[in-house]
Structure 1
Amino acid sequence: MTILDELDKRILQVLQVDASLSNHELAQRVHASPPTCLRRVSRLRKEGVINKQVAILSPDKVGAGLTAIVEITLDHQATEYQIHFENLVANEAAVQQCYRVSPGPDFVLVIQVADMTAYHALAHRLFATQANVRNVRSFFSITRSKFETQIVIA
């Protein structure tokens, strides 16, 4: 685990809110010099603390307005079967998140697609054609009342 000092934490908090800031703007907000800030951000990326910087889109504005939260139970739960399933969903762009969970189902997926027709096509590809998928339970979002990407830094 990387040890974070107070400046690292301030940098990470600000970047979680707005990663599009220039290095100079970031340095001003965290009360550090631009060279120091640049070195710190570079180190945090190199160490994997900053995994990636992205733009978060509004799904309904880009034609991906249906969110499905899907529970998957496999027939066989041995590690190789779980890895096979993870590799299968990793190649599907509409699967935004995949979690191995316990207890209950083996996996929980968060899927973002255009509509129910697109979901059915994806479900057929990923679930119905897989011999090891025993049970699929899908929930469809009516309203998204909260969506955050920030992690509380202790």
Structure 2
Amino acid sequence: MEQIVIDEADLRLLDLLQTDASQSNQSLAERAHLSPPTSLRRTKRLRQLGLIEREVAILSADRLAPVLGHGLTALVEITLERQGAELLDAFEARVLPVTQVQQCYRVSPGPDFVLVVHCHDMPDYLALAQRLFTSDTNVRNIKAFFSLKRAKFDPRLALPAKLSV
């Protein structure tokens, strides 16, 4: 695995891009205090290093609700009966391609997994739960917490202004 070396200019670019990835290179360069060619070259390198996984539009669930409905968001704790590496990997492999599973974390201590799930409604959640959890003989316990209100959602990573050595 290639060792990743970045500097403060890279951190500024990463921070600016995770705030607004749609800005022009000219604007990005200006805000990062770099020349446009340098900004473009560095941003391309950050993508190649895999530090920028992808660029997406974050949709407003509240603004879409009148059209699509509010949907149902649940935080789901999953505990497996047996936790061998191959069984943990197998569970992950089953949930990762499922569109309703927005996030999947392998955690410790406590449950083995915490999932963030967004479904159209309760029947959609029930069908998902039966397909992914109830039918899996290795799933011992399922605990779901249903969101009443999303007070904060921010996908940004907190980045330092300077690198410590």
Q: Normalising to structure 1: TM-score of the pair?
A: 0.95
Identity %: 55
- 1:84 aligned to which of 84, 90, 101: 90
Output the amino acid matched with 1:53. Answer: E
Residues 1-23 of structure 1: per-residue CA shift (max 9 Å, x gap):
52321110111111111011111
Matched residues in 1 for 2:132 and 2:54: separation?
Answer: 27
- Tell me what 1:75 maps to: 81
Q: Which runs of 5+ in 1 are unaligned?
A: none
Contact 1:99 1:108 in 2 (8 A): yes
> What residue in structure 2 maps to residue 65 of structure 1?
71
Whether 2:45 is the aligned partner of 1:39: answer no
- Aligned equivalents of 1:93 and 1:78: distance in 2? 26
Pairwise CA distance, 1:59: 3.0
**CA apart distance, 1:115:** 1.1
Q: After the TM superposition, which residues 104-119 of structure 1 pair with which residues of structure 2 at under 5 Å, given as runs?
A: 104-119=110-125
SS in structure 1 at match of 2:156: coil
TM-score in terms of structure 2 length = 0.89
The number of residue pairs the alignment matches comes to 154
User: How big is the alpha-carbon RMSD for the aligned residues of Structure 1 and Structure 2?
Assistant: 1.2
Q: Which residue of 2 aligns with 1:123?
A: 129
Structure 2: give runs of 5+ residues left out of the alignment.
161-165
Measure the CA separation in 2 of the matches of 1:79 and 1:36: 44
- Map of 1:54 onto structure 2: 56
